[in-house]
Amino acid sequence: MNMKRFIVLCFVAISFFASAQDYEPEVKYTGEGKITMMDGKELTGELTYSFVSIRNLIFVAPGAEKEKIKTNDIKEFTISGTRFVRIVTTAISIGKDWEFAICLTPENSKISIFESINQTGVETGSGYKTERGYFIKFPNDEKAKSLTDLSFTPFHKKVSKIIADCQALSEKIANKAEGYKLGLISTPQQQFDVFMKVATEYQDCK
């Protein structure tokens, strides 16, 4: 096996395990919030959303009865300050090309980072089979990409070009400055920390 093939296989293996997979209790959010529908209409009231039952959002308007709203009809929603955004990703999916993910960056961010949570299967004593992953969307991107996407490798070359309009940040990445570099073998936490730092600094770039 030549070195190039070995490196690619290593990266694929790392990418496969980069989304943490475990068993967790149902991930559910309940609280006051706002829904923005696909047609632009906005609704405010008490919301409940579960990553186990992702087809519907429970909505209770002030003084009204509880109702289910299909997530197909929703653009985004916020529950107690947590913002859920409909994103299209480059990840392979079956049956849908979008999902609701938690936006971890401020609403006006030029670069957005999302946490994806998928809970499937039957509940066990340990909870539901849960997979968490992180995605990023750079300016002008139509789809969000996993932090392990091959298009970001090698990090110092590819990402420095993506944000080349922010010269100071681009140079830090290109020069592998401490805190702005990722090697072929990086933990999910390291990937998240570096990409979040890039997103934060790019926001303040003049």
Task: Record the tokens describing residue 195, joined without a space.
Answer: 């990409």
Read off the pLDDT of residues 174-198 as tens digits, 9 standing for 90 and up. Answer: 999 999 999 888 899 999 999 999 9
Mean pLDDT of the chain: 89
Q: Degrees (nearest 5) of the Cα angle 169, 175, 181?
A: 75
* pLDDT score of 95: 57
Q: pLDDT tens, 131-167?
A: 999 999 999 899 999 999 999 999 999 999 999 999 9
d(CA 129, CA 122): 8
pLDDT grade for 97, boundaries at 50, 70 and 90: confident
pLDDT digit string, tens, across residues 5-62: 444 444 444 444 445 568 999 999 999 999 999 999 999 999 999 999 999 999 999 9
Q: How would residue 76 be classed by pLDDT, with cut points 50, 70 and 90?
A: very high
Whose tokens are 């390291």? That residue is 190
Termini Cα distance of the chain: 47
Q: What is the DSSP letter of 163?
A: T
E strands, the chain, in order: 20-24, 28-37, 42-50, 56-60, 67-70, 74-79, 82-88, 98-103, 112-124, 127-137, 145-146
pLDDT score of 197? 97
What confidence category does residue 172 fall into, taking pLDDT thresholds of 50, 70 and 90? very high
With CA atoms as reference, report the closest residue to 102 among 79, 82, 72: 82
Residue 1 has what pLDDT? Answer: 47
Output the pLDDT for position 24.
Answer: 94
70-79, 91-100, 155-164: least confidently modelled range: 91-100
pLDDT given at position 146: 94
pLDDT (0 to 100) of residue 15: 44
State mean pLDDT over 68-75: 96
Q: Which pLDDT value is given to residue 104?
A: 97
